[in-house]
């Protein structure tokens, strides 16, 4: 079972039937050690071993799934990281993208700006370096094409209406999954364009506008109505319009000012305000010498 798991499930082939010093056939590594055999330390062999003969002494006690696949459990969206990496490795980015989109509607965005806690927990890191999971997500998003849409399911209309206040990542994600459940979704955004901090807080060199707009377009294509320049006066005004539920996702866009003397001077600019001005195409003026507080 361990040989087949290594070969058939993971496509590695680090285990096989080998001869020992007595000429007897044994299951073992195809080279003197795991690393030399090309082992990826995925622990698939540990998981399928029926006798407990294969052990991983580094596995902590507790949740077995979390210990065996820490990259997936560390991902806030619990994306099946090993599965989409395997598909990319076998030349199938379109199927890898379908796996990623089972859990997140913005893979191209995440592939560029995610802080990738999965890589901090990648078991490969104990051997040499963690797998570049985040960049491979970006590769799948950029190269996966449109075939993922063939696997996208949408339930019949429920007759329910939902208003999502805020078109940032939380609001867009909520709208995506609500629409797939068959609800009529309207996203209300106070800014001129949707995207929230993805658009107004992250510099273009980190997140190109075309990548963001393409994935917002995919969400709108599900039938989600996105209204911009739509400031909300009160929740009562929304309920009066007949919405069955409200999802409030205004984000955390207010800068936190330093509680020190001089913080209120005009020359002191808050980081988020500065970034928003840059993304809007403005030219925020600063002096010849600048101090940045915070890393």
Cβ-based burial of 285 (10 A; exposed 0-12, middle 13-18, buried ≥19): exposed
Report whether 94 contacts 119 (CB < 8 A): no
Question: Which residue's entry shows tokens 């658009």?
Answer: 199
Q: How far is CA 263 from CA 254, 266, 271, 276, 290, in A?
A: 15, 9, 13, 19, 14
Residue-level pLDDT at 281: 85
Indicate the pTM of the whole model.
Answer: 0.76
Give the residue ranges of the chain where pLDDT is below 50. none
Report whether 57 contacts 46 (CB < 8 A): no
Residue-level pLDDT at 177: 94
DSSP string, 209-229: HHHHHHHHHHHHTTT-EEE-S
Whole-angstrom Cα distance, residue 101 to residue 126?
29
Detail the DSSP E strand segments found in the chain.
Answer: 15-19, 25-29, 161-165, 184-188, 225-227, 245-248
Residue-level pLDDT at 54: 80
Residue-level pLDDT at 150: 86
Whole-angstrom Cα distance, residue 132 to residue 135?
6
Residue-level pLDDT at 214: 94
Q: How far is CA 48 from CA 30, 52, 124, 241, in A?
A: 19, 9, 20, 55
Residue-level pLDDT at 64: 66
Contacts of 24 (CB under 8 A, 6+ apart): none
Residue-level pLDDT at 172: 96
Residue-level pLDDT at 47: 81
Contacts of 154 (CB under 8 A, 6+ apart): 179, 180, 182, 222
Exposure class string for 208-231: b at 16+ Cβ within 10 A, else e: eeebbeebbebbbebebebeeeee
Summarize pLDDT for 56-67 with one digit per residue, the tens.
Answer: 666 666 666 677
Question: Which residue's entry shows tokens 């077995």?
Answer: 64
Report whether 127 contacts 121 (CB < 8 A): no
């Amino acid at each position: 079972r361990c040989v087949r798991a290594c070969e058939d499930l993971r496509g590695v082939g680090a285990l096989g039937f080998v001869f020992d010093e007595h000429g007897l056939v044994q299951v073992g590594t195809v080279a003197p050690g795991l690393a030399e055999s090309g082992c990826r330390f995925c622990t698939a062999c540990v998981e399928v071993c029926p006798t407990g003969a294969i052990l991983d002494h580094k596995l902590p006690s507790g949740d077995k799934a979390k210990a065996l696949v820490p990259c997936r459990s560390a991902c806030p969206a619990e994306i099946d990281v090993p599965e989409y990496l395997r598909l990319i490795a076998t030349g199938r980015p379109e199927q890898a993208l379908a796996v990623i989109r089972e859990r997140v509607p913005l893979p191209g965005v995440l592939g560029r700006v995610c802080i990738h806690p999965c890589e901090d927990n990648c078991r490969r890191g104990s051997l040499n370096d963690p797998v570049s999971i985040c960049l491979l997500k970006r590769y799948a998003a950029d190269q996966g094409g449109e075939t993922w849409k063939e696997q996208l399911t949408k339930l019949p209309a429920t007759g329910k209406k939902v208003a999502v206040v805020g078109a940032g990542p939380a609001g867009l994600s909520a709208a995506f999954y609500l629409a797939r459940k068959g609800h009529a979704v309207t996203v209300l955004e106070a800014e001129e364009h949707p995207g929230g901090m993805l658009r107004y807080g992250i510099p273009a060199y980190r997140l190109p506008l075309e990548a963001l707009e393409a994935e917002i377009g995919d969400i709108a294509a599900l039938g989600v109505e996105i209204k911009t320049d739509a400031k909300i006066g009160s929740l009562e005004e929304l309920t009066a319009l007949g919405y069955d539920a409200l999802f409030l996702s205004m984000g955390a866009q207010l800068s936190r000012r330093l509680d020190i003397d001089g913080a209120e001077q005009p020359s002191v600019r808050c980081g988020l305000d500065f970034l928003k001005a840059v993304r809007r195409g403005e030219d925020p003026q600063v002096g010849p010498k600048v101090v940045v507080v915070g890393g």
